[in-house]
Amino acid sequence: MSRVLVTGASGFVGCRLCPALASRGHEVSASIRVGDERQPKGAAHLYPLTVDPDADWTAALEGQEAVVHLAARAHVMRETEPDPGTAYHQVNVEGTLRLAQAAVSSDVNRFVFLSTVKVHGEASTGAPSTESDPAAPQDAYARSKWEAEQGLRTLAERTGLEVVILRSPLVYGPGVKGNFLALLRLCASGLPLPFGRVQNRRSLLFVDIVVDAVCAALECPQAAGQTYLVRDGQDLSTPELCRHLSAGLGRTSRLWPFRQLCPHARMAHWSQAGS
């Protein structure tokens, strides 16, 4: 048994991770966004905190042996920030490194960071990305996650903090929101969708597999200092995914082979991690 602080604990992944950790004998402390009234099941202690460069993690980290950092500024469908790049950097880079440095000061042993496969870019290739592939982040979210990864590695080399990085594609499952929910609703509508000739290939990740991966990253001694890409193991094109979703909803998939859209219909945000 260990004492674990989970940030973003009331989010899509966190609300399933906390009870899973508790069931495995861990004592879970949950960090949630200030003003969030959702208390994750399985959490013995609750800390309303905002992930930013000025956050004071002292109380939340007291006595903790490990941190699972899920909280992040992710893809915003209706962006209101005048400078989104700065907003991503403040939360995902500066906020993450502030937490990690505080963890070192509190004698935390292990720091598990949920990153994104988007650090490898957006292109669909013939084979899945691997951990050794070069980084090629193409938007502010991916760049911020890549910068956070590099900062964590530097901190680990200097202090001995055991950092484990999990790069995730889009996470789906009960309660999913964002782009996956939007696609689900489109499939449920029965409307013709212009994806018939799309030949991309994207990895997906079921939320309970993320939970299993985080538990392994916490508990496996050999995971210290490692970076892992996590996926379901079956990579799907947009048409294949639409057919699966439609079948699950009891609908007939209606895919329209619209030629001019296909080169651009790459569903670039599929690879974004959920929080």
Q: Which residues are catalytic?
A: 141
Contact status, residue 115 vs residue 166, Cβ threshold 8 Å:
yes
Distance (Å, rounded) from C-alpha 237 to C-alpha 225?
33
Report which of 1, 3, 20, 21 is spatially closest to residue 65, judged by C-alpha positions.
3
Q: CA–CA separation, 251 vs 264, rounded Å?
A: 26
d(CA 123, CA 116): 14
Residues 6+ apart with CB under 8 A from 98: 52, 53, 54, 55, 57
What's the start-to-end Cα distance of the chain, in Å? 25
Rounded to an integer, what distance in angstroms lies between the CA atom of residue 201 and that of residue 235?
A: 6
